[in-house]
Every structure is written in structure tokens, then in C-alpha cells.
Amino acid sequence: MEAENTTLTHRQSPSIDQPDEAQAITITPRVDIFENQDEILLVADFPGVAKDALSVQLDRSELVIEGTQTANEHQAQPRLAFSRTFRVPHTVDPNGVSAELTQGVLKVHLAKSEAAKPRRIEVSASDS
């Protein structure tokens, strides 16, 4: 039964649990979703979020992306928190998920399992 539990956790977000998170307003980040033969690529705007305040979690078929903006001493505006949940196709390999954050943009690469990739089938000719 162990094989059924494909929970993958990338929790690297100590600051998400900080008490001052209550001040943050949670909104839905805008995303782009692309796909090719090898992977599904999710791109999301997370301006002002540092790497250690970011969380990408895949639990079975549910992908959750969350992040909270860094507090700024001169920023009188409320901080933003971003959160969004997606249903991921079963073709995604739970062990093949990686994420990168550059210039406030989060990219999540969801690799497809080998079985889900398109295969070229050789036709053998027997009537030579």
C-alpha cells in the first residue's frame, strides 16, 4: 500500500507561520500553464516574495503554491500573500517536480511520468 502514497512535500517556508502573517491579504496569483512532451510548466507572478517564504506542495493530484511578501519597514500598505491550488493530471511524476524563483516569478516544472510520454512505435514489416 505504500506505493499509493505519493505525497511529495517541499515545505521551506518558516515565515509562512509567523504571527504577523495575519496582516497579509491573500490573493490569487496570475498564472500561465504550458505543456510539452516532457513536462507541464506552470509560471506564476509572486512579486516581493523571497525564496524562504514560498511553498510548493504536491499532494497526490493537488498542487498548492503559496507565498507571502517580505515585510518592508517603509511599506505602510498591507502585505500580500499569494495562494492557489490546482488539480494536476495523473500523468505527472510526483518525484519529478522542481521549482525556481527569479525576479518575482515562480516556475514549477512538473515532469511527466515515462508511461505518459508519447512513444514512437516502430512498424515492422514482415512481407519482404
Closest to another protein by CB, 10 vs 84, is 84
Q: Does 124 bind another protein (CB under 8 A)?
A: no
Cross-strand pairs, 106: 44, 101
Q: Which of 12, 21, 24, 45 binds another protein (CB under 8 A)?
A: 45
Amino acid (1-letter code) at residue 67: G
Binding residues for another protein restricted to 92-111, rule: CB under 8 A: 101, 103-105
In Å, how far from its chain's centre is CA 63? 6
Q: Which of 9, 18, 20, 35 binds another protein (CB under 8 A)?
A: 35
Residue 55 near residue 10, CB atoms below 8 Å: yes
103 conformational bin, left if phi > 0, alpha if psi -120 to 50, beta if neither: left
Looking at residues 69 to 88 of the shown chain, list those that interact with another protein (rule: CB under 8 A). Answer: 70, 72, 74-78, 80, 84-87
The answer to whether the beta carbons of residues 12 and 51 sit under 8 Å apart is yes
> Which stretches of the chain bind another protein, using CB under 8 A?
25, 27-28, 30-36, 40-41, 43-50, 62, 70, 72, 74-78, 80, 84-87, 89, 91, 101, 103-105, 116, 118
